[in-house]
Structure 1
Amino acid sequence: MLDMLFGGDAFQAATAALNAAALRQQVIANNLANVNTPGYKRQAVSFESALQSALEIRHTPFAALDPHPISSIQPTVYTVNTTTDRTDGNNVDPESESVALAMNAIRYDALVTTISLQFTNLKTVINGR
Protein backbone atom coordinates (compact mmCIF):
# COMPACT_ATOMS: atom_id res chain seq x y z
CA MET A 1 0.00 0.00 0.00
CA LEU A 2 2.74 2.47 0.93
CA ASP A 3 4.59 1.54 -2.25
CA MET A 4 1.61 2.79 -4.23
CA LEU A 5 1.53 6.07 -2.28
CA PHE A 6 5.24 6.78 -2.60
CA GLY A 7 6.08 4.68 -5.64
CA GLY A 8 4.62 6.90 -8.33
CA ASP A 9 6.83 8.20 -11.11
CA ALA A 10 6.49 11.83 -9.99
CA PHE A 11 7.54 11.12 -6.41
CA GLN A 12 10.40 8.83 -7.45
CA ALA A 13 11.64 11.35 -10.02
CA ALA A 14 11.49 14.21 -7.52
CA THR A 15 13.37 12.31 -4.81
CA ALA A 16 16.01 11.07 -7.27
CA ALA A 17 16.44 14.63 -8.58
CA LEU A 18 16.74 15.91 -5.01
CA ASN A 19 19.54 13.43 -4.33
CA ALA A 20 21.27 14.52 -7.55
CA ALA A 21 20.96 18.20 -6.56
CA ALA A 22 22.49 17.47 -3.15
CA LEU A 23 25.41 15.68 -4.80
CA ARG A 24 25.80 18.50 -7.33
CA GLN A 25 26.00 21.02 -4.46
CA GLN A 26 28.88 19.03 -2.94
CA VAL A 27 30.69 18.74 -6.28
CA ILE A 28 30.40 22.47 -7.01
CA ALA A 29 31.58 23.34 -3.50
CA ASN A 30 34.56 21.03 -4.00
CA ASN A 31 35.35 22.73 -7.31
CA LEU A 32 35.28 26.13 -5.63
CA ALA A 33 37.47 24.87 -2.80
CA ASN A 34 40.06 23.75 -5.37
CA VAL A 35 40.03 26.88 -7.53
CA ASN A 36 43.70 27.54 -6.72
CA THR A 37 44.91 23.93 -6.74
CA PRO A 38 47.39 23.47 -9.60
CA GLY A 39 46.32 20.78 -12.08
CA TYR A 40 42.86 20.34 -10.56
CA LYS A 41 40.16 19.53 -13.10
CA ARG A 42 36.60 20.51 -12.28
CA GLN A 43 33.97 17.87 -11.75
CA ALA A 44 30.32 17.84 -12.74
CA VAL A 45 27.24 15.69 -12.17
CA SER A 46 25.31 13.90 -14.89
CA PHE A 47 21.73 12.97 -14.05
CA GLU A 48 18.97 14.81 -15.89
CA SER A 49 19.41 13.09 -19.26
CA ALA A 50 19.20 9.63 -17.64
CA LEU A 51 16.05 10.65 -15.76
CA GLN A 52 14.49 12.08 -18.91
CA SER A 53 15.20 8.86 -20.82
CA ALA A 54 13.68 6.77 -18.05
CA LEU A 55 10.55 8.92 -17.94
CA GLU A 56 10.18 8.75 -21.72
CA ILE A 57 10.37 4.94 -21.62
CA ARG A 58 7.56 4.94 -19.04
CA HIS A 59 5.22 6.44 -21.64
CA THR A 60 5.85 3.86 -24.35
CA PRO A 61 4.47 0.37 -24.98
CA PHE A 62 7.87 -0.95 -23.84
CA ALA A 63 7.46 0.32 -20.27
CA ALA A 64 6.59 -3.14 -18.97
CA LEU A 65 9.88 -4.46 -20.38
CA ASP A 66 11.96 -1.94 -18.42
CA PRO A 67 13.11 -3.70 -15.23
CA HIS A 68 14.73 -0.55 -13.77
CA PRO A 69 12.50 1.73 -11.74
CA ILE A 70 13.08 5.46 -11.80
CA SER A 71 14.34 5.28 -8.23
CA SER A 72 17.32 3.19 -9.43
CA ILE A 73 18.70 6.06 -11.55
CA GLN A 74 21.77 7.47 -9.84
CA PRO A 75 23.70 10.67 -10.52
CA THR A 76 27.20 10.25 -11.87
CA VAL A 77 30.19 12.44 -11.04
CA TYR A 78 32.63 12.91 -13.89
CA THR A 79 35.77 14.96 -14.44
CA VAL A 80 35.75 17.71 -17.07
CA ASN A 81 39.12 17.48 -18.81
CA THR A 82 38.85 20.59 -20.92
CA THR A 83 41.88 22.75 -21.41
CA THR A 84 42.32 26.07 -19.73
CA ASP A 85 44.08 29.35 -20.34
CA ARG A 86 45.64 29.10 -16.91
CA THR A 87 49.27 28.09 -16.72
CA ASP A 88 48.73 25.86 -13.69
CA GLY A 89 46.37 23.50 -15.58
CA ASN A 90 43.38 24.20 -13.34
CA ASN A 91 40.13 24.58 -15.32
CA VAL A 92 37.79 25.87 -12.58
CA ASP A 93 36.08 29.18 -13.39
CA PRO A 94 34.90 30.62 -10.06
CA GLU A 95 32.23 32.80 -11.69
CA SER A 96 30.70 29.87 -13.59
CA GLU A 97 30.79 27.69 -10.49
CA SER A 98 29.10 30.40 -8.43
CA VAL A 99 26.30 30.69 -11.00
CA ALA A 100 25.93 26.90 -11.06
CA LEU A 101 25.79 26.88 -7.26
CA ALA A 102 22.99 29.47 -7.23
CA MET A 103 21.03 27.67 -9.96
CA ASN A 104 21.38 24.38 -8.14
CA ALA A 105 20.17 25.94 -4.88
CA ILE A 106 17.04 27.18 -6.66
CA ARG A 107 16.50 23.72 -8.20
CA TYR A 108 16.97 22.09 -4.78
CA ASP A 109 14.44 24.43 -3.15
CA ALA A 110 11.91 23.74 -5.92
CA LEU A 111 12.31 20.00 -5.49
CA VAL A 112 11.90 20.23 -1.72
CA THR A 113 8.71 22.25 -2.26
CA THR A 114 7.41 19.67 -4.74
CA ILE A 115 8.01 16.77 -2.36
CA SER A 116 6.58 18.74 0.55
CA LEU A 117 3.39 19.42 -1.43
CA GLN A 118 3.03 15.72 -2.17
CA PHE A 119 3.19 14.98 1.56
CA THR A 120 0.72 17.81 2.28
CA ASN A 121 -1.70 16.35 -0.26
CA LEU A 122 -1.31 12.90 1.28
CA LYS A 123 -1.97 14.34 4.75
CA THR A 124 -5.09 16.05 3.44
CA VAL A 125 -6.38 12.77 2.00
CA ILE A 126 -5.66 10.92 5.23
CA ASN A 127 -7.37 13.55 7.38
CA GLY A 128 -10.30 13.84 4.99
CA ARG A 129 -10.13 17.64 4.77
Structure 2
Amino acid sequence: MSRTPANYSLTVVRGATWEDEFTYVDPAGVAIDLTGYEARMQVRTKEGQFGTSTADTLVLELTTTNGLLTIPEPENGQVLLRVEADDTLPLNPDNLKKRRLVYSLNLYDPDGMAPDYVIPLVQGGVTVLGSVIR
Protein backbone atom coordinates (compact mmCIF):
# COMPACT_ATOMS: atom_id res chain seq x y z
CA MET A 1 0.00 0.00 0.00
CA SER A 2 1.37 3.38 -1.00
CA ARG A 3 1.26 6.22 1.49
CA THR A 4 1.25 9.88 0.58
CA PRO A 5 2.84 12.14 3.19
CA ALA A 6 0.89 15.07 4.56
CA ASN A 7 2.07 18.46 3.36
CA TYR A 8 2.71 20.99 6.11
CA SER A 9 4.72 24.21 6.15
CA LEU A 10 6.92 25.06 9.14
CA THR A 11 8.34 28.37 10.36
CA VAL A 12 11.53 28.68 12.40
CA VAL A 13 13.18 31.78 13.84
CA ARG A 14 16.98 31.78 13.49
CA GLY A 15 18.58 31.70 16.94
CA ALA A 16 15.43 30.54 18.74
CA THR A 17 14.53 27.09 20.03
CA TRP A 18 12.53 25.22 17.39
CA GLU A 19 9.79 22.92 18.66
CA ASP A 20 7.12 21.17 16.60
CA GLU A 21 4.88 18.15 17.01
CA PHE A 22 3.54 15.70 14.43
CA THR A 23 0.83 13.10 15.07
CA TYR A 24 0.27 10.02 12.92
CA VAL A 25 -3.44 9.16 12.78
CA ASP A 26 -5.64 6.89 10.69
CA PRO A 27 -8.43 8.28 8.45
CA ALA A 28 -10.82 8.29 11.43
CA GLY A 29 -8.42 10.47 13.44
CA VAL A 30 -7.31 7.69 15.81
CA ALA A 31 -3.63 7.78 16.77
CA ILE A 32 -1.48 5.02 15.29
CA ASP A 33 0.77 3.27 17.83
CA LEU A 34 4.44 3.96 17.03
CA THR A 35 5.90 1.46 19.49
CA GLY A 36 9.20 0.20 18.07
CA TYR A 37 9.38 2.92 15.42
CA GLU A 38 12.10 5.48 14.94
CA ALA A 39 11.94 8.76 13.04
CA ARG A 40 14.26 10.66 10.74
CA MET A 41 13.93 14.05 9.15
CA GLN A 42 16.13 15.98 6.77
CA VAL A 43 16.06 19.69 6.06
CA ARG A 44 17.54 20.57 2.66
CA THR A 45 17.94 23.51 0.35
CA LYS A 46 15.13 23.82 -2.16
CA GLU A 47 17.61 23.11 -4.97
CA GLY A 48 18.38 19.72 -3.44
CA GLN A 49 14.92 18.52 -2.56
CA PHE A 50 14.61 16.10 -5.47
CA GLY A 51 18.29 15.32 -5.96
CA THR A 52 18.61 17.82 -8.78
CA SER A 53 21.71 19.49 -7.38
CA THR A 54 25.16 18.02 -7.00
CA ALA A 55 25.91 20.48 -4.18
CA ASP A 56 25.78 19.38 -0.56
CA THR A 57 22.18 20.33 0.09
CA LEU A 58 21.63 18.77 3.53
CA VAL A 59 21.29 21.57 6.08
CA LEU A 60 20.13 19.64 9.17
CA GLU A 61 19.40 16.02 10.00
CA LEU A 62 17.10 15.15 12.88
CA THR A 63 16.67 11.60 14.14
CA THR A 64 15.53 9.72 17.19
CA THR A 65 19.14 8.54 17.43
CA ASN A 66 20.62 12.05 17.69
CA GLY A 67 17.81 13.13 20.02
CA LEU A 68 16.42 15.95 17.89
CA LEU A 69 13.28 13.85 17.33
CA THR A 70 11.56 11.85 20.09
CA ILE A 71 8.58 9.52 20.32
CA PRO A 72 7.91 9.87 24.06
CA GLU A 73 4.49 8.19 24.17
CA PRO A 74 4.31 5.90 21.13
CA GLU A 75 0.68 4.94 21.75
CA ASN A 76 -0.29 8.58 21.05
CA GLY A 77 1.30 8.54 17.58
CA GLN A 78 3.32 11.66 18.34
CA VAL A 79 6.74 12.63 17.08
CA LEU A 80 8.27 15.64 18.82
CA LEU A 81 10.94 17.87 17.33
CA ARG A 82 13.25 20.05 19.41
CA VAL A 83 16.29 21.91 18.12
CA GLU A 84 18.19 24.19 20.49
CA ALA A 85 18.60 27.86 19.59
CA ASP A 86 22.28 27.68 18.57
CA ASP A 87 21.54 24.72 16.31
CA THR A 88 19.04 26.78 14.26
CA LEU A 89 21.78 29.22 13.15
CA PRO A 90 22.92 27.05 10.19
CA LEU A 91 19.36 27.09 8.83
CA ASN A 92 19.85 30.77 7.93
CA PRO A 93 23.59 31.41 8.25
CA ASP A 94 23.49 34.85 6.59
CA ASN A 95 20.55 36.01 8.75
CA LEU A 96 18.44 36.80 5.71
CA LYS A 97 14.95 38.20 6.24
CA LYS A 98 13.63 34.81 5.06
CA ARG A 99 15.33 31.65 3.85
CA ARG A 100 13.22 28.91 2.34
CA LEU A 101 14.14 25.25 2.79
CA VAL A 102 12.32 21.92 2.44
CA TYR A 103 11.96 18.93 4.76
CA SER A 104 10.68 15.38 4.88
CA LEU A 105 9.91 13.27 7.97
CA ASN A 106 9.80 9.46 7.78
CA LEU A 107 9.03 6.70 10.27
CA TYR A 108 10.68 3.29 10.16
CA ASP A 109 10.93 0.14 12.27
CA PRO A 110 14.63 -0.75 12.58
CA ASP A 111 13.91 -4.14 14.16
CA GLY A 112 10.88 -5.08 12.09
CA MET A 113 10.56 -7.94 9.67
CA ALA A 114 11.27 -5.46 6.86
CA PRO A 115 13.63 -2.80 8.27
CA ASP A 116 13.60 -0.98 4.95
CA TYR A 117 9.83 -0.38 5.32
CA VAL A 118 9.53 3.41 5.50
CA ILE A 119 6.39 5.43 6.20
CA PRO A 120 6.55 8.98 4.78
CA LEU A 121 4.72 10.97 7.47
CA VAL A 122 4.97 14.63 6.44
CA GLN A 123 6.90 16.95 4.14
CA GLY A 124 6.84 20.57 3.09
CA GLY A 125 8.58 23.89 3.24
CA VAL A 126 10.50 25.47 6.08
CA THR A 127 10.66 29.25 6.28
CA VAL A 128 13.55 30.37 8.46
CA LEU A 129 13.12 33.96 9.61
CA GLY A 130 16.10 36.13 10.38
CA SER A 131 16.72 37.35 13.90
CA VAL A 132 17.14 40.91 15.13
CA ILE A 133 18.78 39.73 18.36
CA ARG A 134 22.35 38.47 17.87
TM-score, normalised to structure 1, is: 0.25
- Rg larger for: 1
Q: TM-score, normalised by structure 2?
A: 0.24
Structure ranking higher in strand proportion: 2
